Amino acid sequence: MKITWYGHSAFRIETQEARILIDPFFSGNPVFPEDKRAEAINGLTHICLTHGHGDHVGDTIAIAQQTDATVIANADLASWLGKRGAEKLDVGNTGGTVHHDGFSMTWVQAFHSSAHVDEDGIAHDLGLPNGLVFHFADGKSLYHMGDTDIFGDMALIEELHKPQIGIVPVGDRFTMGGAVAALACQRFFNFDTAIPCHYGTFPLIDATPDTFVQGMKGHKTAVKVATIGEAFDA
């Protein structure tokens, strides 16, 4: 499995059978390397979304139209995307699982919000925020937490899914900060690898993952601080 981080919460997951973008916030993302756009969408099969905020939905519609990738999102968000031009949609909701070539994906809970305010000031409820758990036929299981605080039922996610790779928001202000994220990883999960994200994008959130890295020192879980735009094996 190859993983590439494109800043904020945007990741590409590549296996033998699938090439997945999660939360493709490219346009308007000040840390997204524009020269990596073609590479990011090359051969894309799926786009998976954690929730409806603009810094996560990002360029979903344009990329889906360009690549013919299937968009996997909760039912409310998918309906909203469908009315705006996304055609290939697979829908579900918290607790549900969908199956595609080479992987399954389960929506789990996240403690956050999920809405879109349009240019006229009208707010659209886009369903509940979620984390996403992937089980791959030819790779490790992976949990993208989405935007969330720590919560006790993370223990059930570990019990049910036993994710080996965790993608963890650490930037504070809109998600848990680094110290709490480290506590979540240590108390509730047995990750082989934890990958911090949702930092360094905007001035309001933490510029670095240093607090998380410090909090994980001495723990058996390896912390992978990804370099934006550079793929790595997991």
Query: Mind listing the pLDDT tens digit for each residue in 4-48?
Result: 999 999 999 999 999 999 999 999 999 999 999 999 999 999 999
pTM, full prediction: 0.98
How many other CB atoms sit within 10 Å of the CB of residue 78? 21
Residue 191 DSSP SS3? coil
Looking only at the bridges linking them, the beta strands covering 123-125 and 115-117 are: antiparallel
E runs forming strands in the chain: 2-5, 11-14, 19-22, 46-48, 70-74, 89-92, 97-100, 103-109, 115-117, 123-125, 130-136, 142-144, 165-169, 193-197, 222-223, 232-233
**Domains with residue ranges and CATH for the chain:** 2-233 (3.60.15.10)
Provide φ and ψ at 25, rounded to 5°: -85, 95
In the chain, the N- to C-terminal Cα span, in Å, equals 6
Asked whether 56 and 23 are in contact (CB, 8 A), the reply is yes
Render 9-62 in DSSP notation, one character per residue.
T-EEEE-SS-EEEES---TT-TT--GGGHHHHHTT--EEE-S---HHHHTTHHH
- Tens digit of pLDDT for each residue in 56-107? 999 999 999 999 999 999 999 999 999 999 999 999 999 999 999 999 999 9
- Tens digit of pLDDT for each residue in 195-207? 999 999 999 999 9
Distance CA 45, CA 100 (A): 10
Closest to 108 in 3D by CA, of 41, 45, 29, 188: 188
- Tens digit of pLDDT for each residue in 140-166? 999 999 999 999 999 999 999 999 999
Asked whether 211 and 217 are in contact (CB, 8 A), the reply is no
